[in-house]
């Protein structure tokens, strides 16, 4: 049995103002850095075999305080990089709906059928990211590992773990700095924790 703590990175300015981030390499803002420290404090007593992260700065900057608290090094894992939004990267939702109205409706109503121009679909993401998670689980059988990634990636991985299609994509809550726990067994995967942000309560005061 392997436990995977799937963490979403902390807040960036493009989270705050709502822009499609994707492969754009944005750093955490001040709130995001505080969130990363809060995650690290919460997980400091856990025994982690390894900590993996998307290679983008916002994920690495979230993973680094966790790694320091747990006495581990961060290992970049390219397959869990954020979705490639292609021509839509950097757009606000309003700009997206104006420039690509048909795709906007599909992304909103049937994301399983959406493909970003010169970018990826959710199926593309799943084909590259899920095998990497399975390899991590095999490499650390019986242990606990952390993967720090992105909202779209985390939703897709949770769908894969549950064995459901991407029509369920929008049903999965995934806030900045959220923790999810997936347990891998010989018989399959179980979701033990979803979108937990209780470690951020001290920041709201």
List of domains in the chain:
2-203 (3.40.50.1240)
* Both tokens assigned to 33: 């850095």
User: Quick check: 26 and 49 in contact, CB under 8 A?
Assistant: no
Contact 63, 53 (CB under 8 A): yes
pLDDT, tens digit (0-9, with 9 covering 90-100), for 65-113: 999 999 999 999 999 999 999 999 999 999 999 999 999 999 999 999 9
Residue 180 has pLDDT above 70, yes or no: yes
* 104-145 pLDDT, tens digit each: 999 999 999 999 999 999 999 999 999 999 999 999 999 999
C-alpha span between 134 and 26 (Å, rounded): 28
Give residues with Cβ within 8 angstroms of 36, minimum separation 6: 9, 10, 28, 61, 62, 64, 65, 66, 177
Q: Report in angstroms the alpha-carbon separations of 64 from 38, 39, 205.
A: 12, 11, 25
pTM of whole model > 0.85? Answer: yes
Percent of the chain's residues with pLDDT above 70: 100
Could you list the active site residues?
Answer: 9, 150
What is the rounded distance in angstroms from the CA atom of residue 75 to the CA atom of residue 136?
11
């Amino acid at each position: 049995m392997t436990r995977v703590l799937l963490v979403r990175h902390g807040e960036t300015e493009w989270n705050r103002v709502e822009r499609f981030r994707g492969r754009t390499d944005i750093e955490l803002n001040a709130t995001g850095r505080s969130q990363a420290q809060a995650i690290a404090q919460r997980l400091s007593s856990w025994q982690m075999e390894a900590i993996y992260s998307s290679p983008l700065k916002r994920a690495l900057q979230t993973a680094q305080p966790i790694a320091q608290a747990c006495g581990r090094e961060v290992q970049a894992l390219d397959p869990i990089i954020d979705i490639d939004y292609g021509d839509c990267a950097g757009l606000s939702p309003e700009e997206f709906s104006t420039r690509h109205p048909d795709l906007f409706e599909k992304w909103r109503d049937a994301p399983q059928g959406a493909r970003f121009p010169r970018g990826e679909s959710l199926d593309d993401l799943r084909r590259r990211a899920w095998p990497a998670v399975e390899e991590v689980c095999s490499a650390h059988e019986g242990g606990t590992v952390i993967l720090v990634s992105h909202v779209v990636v985390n939703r897709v991985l949770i769908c894969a773990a549950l064995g459901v299609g991407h029509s369920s994509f929008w049903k999965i809550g995934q806030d900045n700095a959220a923790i999810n726990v997936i347990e891998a067994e010989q018989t399959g995967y179980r979701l033990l924790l979803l979108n937990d942000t209780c470690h951020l309560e001290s920041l709201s005061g």
